[in-house]
Structure 1
């Protein structure tokens, strides 16, 4: 059978604040991406617990697939419009299924406080060094392993027969097929980093049933066709396959990095900044563990060696706080004002746990500055400047440490995702890193999702570098060079404030 010249696929990309469905046409000489549906994703506080409204997310995906099918048919494509469907989302959160396959309650958000103190108890039981040697995962209190430990002994956990991460849960509802995609499984703290399989050792040590964890899939695997009900609801051909992609959104975003060779660092920048390198083997040293680096699975056997940095969450939550207080601000205008503010006045550590939960972020930044003897930002523009310089400093620290720990030097930093629109952040990151920053594409995650689908469907062939060659031909990132007036000494002085 001859390969198709191009395919038309739907890439469902779910973020912590919104979801969208993108329509992509991909082939050897074409790469087109269009947003066809966007919907909010707002966690709900109920009974003291922060839940995701997963049924609303599922409805948003269904509505998006219906819109994608209509748009594809209008473009004259075959198969009732779509050739494939792929889903990616943020990591670590999951749903529990009972013996009938029904969902047991709304999934709980990783920002919920139920895991407070749990990580320390698990480390006492298993040993923190042992955990890292097996999983290579950065110790974050919301990792799936700690969420499951927090749920131990609850009625929901007692009734659970299967745990599915959120993209796999939605794929199950679309197809009736259960499984766990590898790149997202690698964020749970329960995957063996060397073998790429569930760690039976850890699962047994924690007293969990091995059957709770679904068989693993890899990006490009076919999950299955749509159920009859889903096909009827969306107007799609029931034979349209749902395909496994890099279902952890960062895995898809790294596929969408338009790198020309291996000497690059990446920052997938949105609510979180995932800062790291693409390697062929995990780094499981004690120095790596102490530095807070994680080893997660990528496409084609690669390792995403990275550090989680809090990202634009501080800015997003500040904007929400001002809005709630009746002081709405135009982000573009505020960024322009922040760019005119003097630099190197105040800085915070964006990874301090105080900044993790939702709430009054400007007040927390002000309290942090007081606590370490810095000036409190006197205006909203000064607050934004403080937040973005802090984030740029955290980016630079992670890039430098990753190179040192992996013995993998880089010549350029690729910043992709929503943060690539933030010109001030991109420039400050170049200044702090002392390296060129190539910003874009904004839609790296959806592009990576679509490229994996297109390869699975035969429209394109080759290895990861071949997918990036196609990206090079169709995207035009913006380049930021370090400014001569932004000395390494000044940035080191900022870092010293936090270390002191």
Structure 2
């Protein structure tokens, strides 16, 4: 057993990235953010790409800062899912990876359904149909020079791991988001790739979360100020899908719980021992994604705080003086449930532009639904948060129904756990207590998986979560009466209302 470890948790989000120094011991779990950088899609000639080389540069800069602050026992990377880079036969990157918010997959799910029945596809992958799933991106890329030249596909955290170690592979929690992964056998579905005329040979070997990938390459070790030679700092495959790491960091205490990993996206669901592959689950568009220790994350993707952040960005570009605390204070005093919309409407997915602003999209949805149109920023923010809380309620209840599970509490982790108004509205809407925190659940889960691999006495998820509870304060929100959430749910639409 190792008494104390210090690791680097690289936590990459679609709007910002962070490199954290994490200390882990028997009663110690502490994070320090040593480096933060802006991230986001880069428009080029009508397409939207990731500056992945820039992300790698910033990752190295953060690792250098961690190494300057003390010992470095391990490195783990988690990020958003589905996006990938292609390598040629020399191991070189074939162009910039596309952002999942690029429009190239419009209409592709319908094309794929003409080749493989949607029910059959769900029975294999258990995956929620989202237009940007990796499988749809690859079908959209069929016939391109890049795909025809590709030797290997690497999801983004695996690509960055490759640049650190020189090792090719795909970590299972992220692979499970691609639409090419058999959720029952936990292997690539080569047959599915063949039926879609995709080059299945580019799918790399799979690795489990918690496995040691390799030590840093000598040039990388030198670049971040580490000694070159044996044994070297190991890079560890954590739950590289950030939600998989975030669910590790849910501080549950034996409760029957649902979770909301609330950030740019909100992932709402349950942790199960096996997938739910029923036709009802498919029609409800729930997903079965891999978790740490062989668990399944049975969840629904909800649009999340992206809509709020894009609205704030729009107002700032218009020269309005806006700050989030003031906006939230105004929203708290706005009329409850005055306006509710379907927060998952596809019109809210693309980034806001000067000609297509996020607040105007929300107003258009309200008009189309016959709802009062929110005019002021405070009314817009209240519309977003009320609608998000309704989406959380709807999907918590539906997940429980589909899985035959009852719950006692909803855990909200991630950045949204710091939004007191959203957490209270979630408790009110669900009619259940909400335990909010920690905000850094993904980085904590990343660090915990690394620590266990390196010898910490953390034999299972229960032990990891107990350490989170002992070292982090949580905020409890009790449900309040008054607002008519049932009526508000019906206003969103009969197919969205839920129980």
Where on the TM-score scale, by shorter chain, does this alignment land: which range? over 0.9
Partner of 1:77: none
State the shift of 1:492 in Å.
3.6
Partner of 2:55: 57
What does 1:336-485 correspond to in 2, within 5 Å? 336-359=329-352, 360-485=357-482
Q: 1: CA distance between counterparts of 2:178 and 2:254? A: 30
Q: Quick check: 223-232 or 443-452, which moved more?
A: 223-232
> How many pairs are equivalent?
490
Instruction: Give the conservation status (yes or no) of the 8 Å contact 1:297–1:304.
Output: yes
2:246 & 2:3 partners in 1: Cα distance? Answer: 24
* C-alpha distance after superposition, 1:318-364 (max 9, x if no partner): 00111111113110011001000011211111111111001111000
User: Equivalent residue of 2:22, what SS?
Assistant: strand
Deviation at 1:101, TM superposition (A): 0.3
- The CA distance in 2 between the partners of 1:182 and 1:371, in whole Å, is 41
Residue 203 (1) aligns with residue 183 (2): no
The offset of 1:301, in angstroms, is 0.7
1:491 Cα deviation (Å)?
3.8
Taking structure 2 as the reference length, what is the TM-score of the superposition? 0.96
CA RMSD of aligned residues (A): 1.2
Query: Counterparts in 2 of 1:48-447, with a 5 A limit?
Result: 48-71=46-69, 73=70, 81-238=71-228, 239-261=232-254, 263-359=256-352, 360-447=357-444
For residues 255 and 147 of structure 2, what CA distance do their matches in structure 1 show? 43
Which segment drifts farther, 90-99 or 200-209? 200-209
How far residue 204 of structure 1 moved from its aligned partner, in angstroms, is 1.6
Distance 2:27 2:368 in 1: 56
TM-score, L = length of structure 1: 0.96
* Equivalent residues of 1:344, 1:490 under 8 A apart: no
CA distance in 2, matches of 1:492, 1:209: 44
CA distance in 2, matches of 1:246, 1:114: 28
CA contact (8 A) 1:344 1:494 kept: no
Q: 1:183: Cα distance to partner?
A: 0.1
* CA drift at 1:211: 2.2
Q: CA deviation at 1:210?
A: 2.9
8 Å CA contact 1:430–1:436 kept in 2: the answer is yes
Partner SS, residue 114 of structure 2: helix
The structural deviation recorded for 1:485 is 1.7
Equivalent of 1:26, from 24, 27, 38?
A: 24
The answer on whether the counterparts of 2:337 and 2:483 sit within 8 Å (CA) in structure 1 is no
CA distance in 2, matches of 1:113, 1:354: 12
Distance 1:250 1:355 in 2: 21
Question: Displacement, 1:6?
Answer: 1.1
Residues 499, 471 of structure 1: alpha-carbon distance in 2 compared, 3 angstrom cutoff: closer
Distance 2:108 2:273 in 1: 32
Determine the C-alpha separation between the residues in 2 that align with 1:195 and 1:376.
49
Ranges in structure 2 where 5+ consecutive residues have no aligned partner: none
* Per-residue deviation, 1:493: 4.3
| Counterpart-to-counterpart distance in 1, 2:321 and 2:137 | 35
Spell out, residue by residue over 1:165-223, the C-alpha distance to the aligned partner (whole angstroms, 9 max, x if none).
00000000000001000000000001001011001111121223332011001111011
CA deviations over 1:405-426 (Å, ceiling 9, x no partner) = 0001110000000001111110
Measured against aligned partners, the alpha-carbon deviations of 1:153-173 in whole angstroms (never above 9, x if no partner) come to 001111101000000000000
Task: List gaps (5 residues or longer) in structure 1.
Answer: 74-80
Q: Structure 1 residues 431, 494: closer, same or farther in 2, change over 3 A?
A: farther
CA distance in 1, matches of 2:412, 2:183: 26
The residue matched to 1:386 in structure 2 has which SS?
Answer: helix
State the secondary structure of the residue aligned to 1:251. helix
> Quick one: distance in 2 between partners of 1:153 and 1:254?
38
SS in structure 1 of the partner of residue 20 of structure 2: strand
